[in-house]
Structure 1
Amino acid sequence: MNTEDRIYQEALSVATMYYYQGLTTEAIAREMNFSRPKVSRLLSHARSSGMVEIKIVNVQKALSPLERQIRDTFGLDAVHIVPAPELMGEVVWLERVARYTANYLNSVLSSGDILAIAWGTTISEIASNLIPHRVPELRVVQLNGSGNTFTPDNRYAANILHHFAQNYEANVMLFPVPTFFDYRETKAAMWQERSVKRIIDLQQNASVLLYSIGSVNAGVPSHVYSTGYLDPEDMEELEREQVIGDLATVFFREDGSWEDIPLNSRASGPPLSLYRKVKRAICVVSGRNKVPGLRAALKARLMSELILDEPTARLLCRSGDCGDLET
């Protein structure tokens, strides 16, 4: 038996004793003649490899007051607030939200679904925390292009999509176009190509959207703003148009308007009307500076589900947008 097979069998035995037989790690270590740290490592391996799937069932469907208030105020189907200590900082907030989302997706995706993904910092963190789970006939499609003239290496978005496809044993459909076209006429012509129209059709028929709010001033910087996708003239335009955030590199203002922002005519992301059409539009947000964009997206009803950390949720409601809330 090679090393990989041996570790698999040991992890399977330890997981069976721990989860099915209710033995403690100390009892398993004694029975298997292992050290307790080795038992802990094998249990961690069993969870991360997908051998063990942990499902928390909220049998009473109970929401915290903060979750209920956000859900009811903005007319959402679901709100998930992830506990995180405020003092730990935004990197830890994002890590916890990403781990929660990675687990949650395993209960959301079904056979035959189309999962449309907007690449970026938050989605990259989720991809790094995915737990292997086969979903038959799942298709994963990229929501916005990732090519640009400033960064020759175009693997960032592709790697994120491939993580998801490999994790779920799904087919992946990349979107091989620039993030932003130089000319709107070029985009209009490209959108007539059959190969591009095929991707757009998949986006428009997605079962699940997974995305975050882009923010130029986020504590954990949004990838599109921090790696040269926008030139100085573009940034000046966004400031002039009073842009507050973006979804899949399509920009919007505080009042939710977006169609008359010039840069959007050259952007490769889908129209924001798509987020109102798809039944399960899951927005994942973490960080103080994403709150203004999140607030605008919520008021414009650009999501059906929201996953965020507790400090960000409290900042969202501190402005009074969530009504009177006893916390």
Structure 2
Amino acid sequence: MHQDKQIVPSTEDSAQYINAITVARLYYYQDMTTTDIARELNLSRSKVSRLLSFARDNGLVEIHINDPRDHPQQIEAELKQRFGLPQAHVVSVRESGGEREWLERVASHAASYLNRLVQSNMVIGLAWGNTVNEIVSRLTPKSTVNVEVVQLNGSGTTHSMSNAFSSEIIMRFATNYGARPQPFPVPAFFDYAETKTALWRERSVRRLVELQQRCDILVYSVGALAAEVPSQIHSGGYLDPQDLQAVTEAGAVGDIATVFFRADGSYRDIALNSRTSGPDLDLFRRVRHSVCVASGRGKVEGLRAALRGGFVNELIIDEPTARLLLESSPPDAPQAGAAGAQR
């Protein structure tokens, strides 16, 4: 059990944070019961229980079980070594539970991790989609100040420039942290590259693009057409058959924020990328907390390519998918850092 995370509460919450830390110290460090703590601090037992829950939910307490039989820890170590990852989180799931259950468990873990990671004075970039939507629905409210939540890629289609699905993700994430939402009201894909180039000169759009470049945290998944839980960009009618055929013929195996890439991580000469609203994938290499959340066997090919391209710095993944990723990736696969430096 680890305590004393660097969390800066708002003034109105400071007393609750202090009380939660005090209770956590007595409970975990001195092995006092909730009854003994209640008596010593002149609190009710229910109040002590709520403070312990508050401490866990807000990252003041982390609990780690060190089990020598713990496969996820072994897999995490192998993922970090194989792909040069600074951080890897492997989530235990029931093998028989199915990919929908795996996604829910992974999303819950990611939500808890983000609640510890997000602090005041940060810029957070979200690539909207089914996985990020699952994460947002599991966040626990946390007070911060001066936080911006910016949408990384547009979501408009030929039928409508507005998209309730993506807008709701950005708004709910921002509301959870008392942050300022910054939606990106442009199409997911432009009909003409020239249109995108012209629009990117507009000051309003340029401000959002510049804000994306200042992100402290990026939250996203890898798009995959063949996943059991299909990617929104593939299942939501954003790409017509000609576009899908073109990216397939170009060798694309996945996308991040509507930017497609091949199995070796290359992406700059894929024609459709000149018409996408997503950021250059170099952004995902540069941001320290570039957090990719992936679940399901259909994600493996795209995820392996993203790792080879160096687009992932922190990975949160379910155990069966992680095992398949390692089994299908030769030990001499290029490390993320090395691959990223070459492109």
1:321 positional shift? 2.9
Q: CA deviation at 1:108?
A: 0.8
* Cα displacement (A) at 1:191: 0.3
Distance in structure 2 (CA, Å) of the matches to 1:212 and 1:285: 6
CA distance in structure 1 between the aligned counterparts of 2:63 and 2:85, rounded to whole angstroms: 20
Q: Aligned pair in 2 of structure 1 residues 320, 158: CA closer, same or farther (>3 Å)? A: closer
Equivalent of 1:173 in 165, 174, 182:
182
Q: Which AA in structure 2 matches 1:267?
A: T
SS at match of 1:64: helix
**Runs of 5+ in structure 2 lacking a partner?**
1-19, 39-45, 333-343
* Displacement of 1:142: 0.4
Deviation at 1:151, TM superposition (A): 5.6
**Which amino acid in the other structure matches residue 55 of structure 1?**
V
What is aligned with 1:56?
A: 62
1:218 aligns with 227
Identity %: 46
Conserved in 2, the CA contact under 8 Å of 1:47 and 1:53?
no
CA distance in 1, matches of 2:183, 2:270: 26
1:124-180 residue CA offsets vs partner (Å, 9 max, x unmatched):
000100111112211100000011124676111010001110000001111010000
Query: In structure 1, what is the equivalent of residue 119 of structure 2?
Result: 110
Relative distance call for 1:250 and 1:193 in structure 2 (3 A) is: same
Q: CA deviation at 1:55?
A: 3.3
The CA deviation at 1:86 is: 1.3
Q: CA RMSD in A?
A: 3.4
Q: Is contact 2:95-2:320 (8 Å) kept?
A: yes
Aligned-pair distance for 1:52?
6.8
Give SS of 1:225's match: helix
CA contact (8 A) 1:150 1:228 kept: no
Q: Does residue 94 of the first structure (1) align with residue 111 of the second (2)?
A: no
Match of 1:142 among 151, 155, 171: 151
One of 159, 164, 167 as aligned partner of 1:155: 164
In structure 2, give the amino acid aligned to 1:300: G
Q: Once the 2 structures are TM-superposed, how far is the Cα of residue 256 of structure 1 from its aligned partner?
A: 0.8
- List per-residue Cα deviations over 1:271-315 (Å, max 9, x = no partner): 111111112111110010100000011111111110000011001
**SS of the residue aligned with 1:157?**
helix
> Distance between the aligned counterparts of 1:70 and 1:322, measured in 2?
10
1:92 to 1:183, Cα distance in 2 relative to 1, 3 A: same
SS in 2 for 1:209: strand
Distance 1:257 1:87 in 2: 35
Listed as ranges, the matches of 1:59-74 within 5 Å are: 64-74=73-83
Asked whether the 8 Å contact 1:140–1:165 carries over to 2, the reply is yes
Matched residue, 1:235: 244
Counterpart Cα distance in 2 of 1:249 and 1:52: 32
The superposition leaves residues 179-220 of structure 1 with CA deviations (integer Å, 9 ceiling, x where unpaired) of 000110000000000000100011111111111000011110
**1:247 paired residue among 229, 246, 256:** 256
For residue 216 of structure 2, what is the amino acid of its counterpart?
S
CA distance in 2, matches of 1:139, 1:305: 21
Q: Could you report, residue by residue, the CA deviation over 1:14-57 in whole angstroms, capped at 9, with x for unpaired residues? A: x99x97777689xx9xxxxxxxxxx9xxx89x969x98767325
8 Å contact kept, 1:151–1:227: no
Q: Superposition pairs for residues 1-327 of structure 1, below 5 Å?
A: 55-58=61-64, 64-150=73-159, 154-322=163-331
Partner Cα distance (1:110, 1:127) in 2: 16
Answer whether contact 1:116 1:208 (CA < 8 A) is retained: yes
Moved beyond 6 Å, runs of 4+:
18-25
Query: Which residue in the other structure is 1:31 paired with?
Result: none
1:67-87, CA deviations, whole angstroms, 9 ceiling, x for partnerless residues? 111101111111000100111
Compute the TM-score of the two structures, normalised by the length of structure 1: 0.83
Q: 1:47 and 1:126 mapped to 2: Cα distance?
A: 20
TM-score (norm. length: structure 2): 0.79
Q: CA deviation at 1:112?
A: 0.6
Structure 2 distance, partners of 1:152, 1:226, is 17
